[in-house]
Amino acid sequence: MTTMTQTAAKADTGLLPIVSTALAGVFLIFFAGFAQATVFHDTAHDTRHAIAFPCH
């Protein structure tokens, strides 16, 4: 009984970080990619260069 409760609780908490992280990542990508303000785009561009991500 106790084991089943712990397993269920572990399964419930295991999905929330994955979903929230995925939503945050999608939000950041679309926010930086389609932002009209050049400040946001330039910030994302500079961040890509700072982490040595291939850009152009």
Residues that bind Zn ion (CB under 5 A): 55-56
| Closer residue to Zn ion, CB minimum distance, 10 or 56 | 56
Angle at 47 between CA 20 and CA 52, to 5 degrees: 110
In whole angstroms, the minimum distance from the beta carbon of 27 to Zn ion comes to: 22
Question: To the nearest whole angstrom, how small is the minimum distance from the Cβ of residue 54 to Zn ion?
Answer: 9
**Nearest Cα to Cα of residue 32 among 22, 42, 24, 23:** 42
Q: How far apart are CA 35 and CA 29, in angstroms?
A: 10
Toward Zn ion, which CB reaches closer, 52 or 55? Answer: 55
Report, in Å, the least distance between residue 16 CB and Zn ion: 35
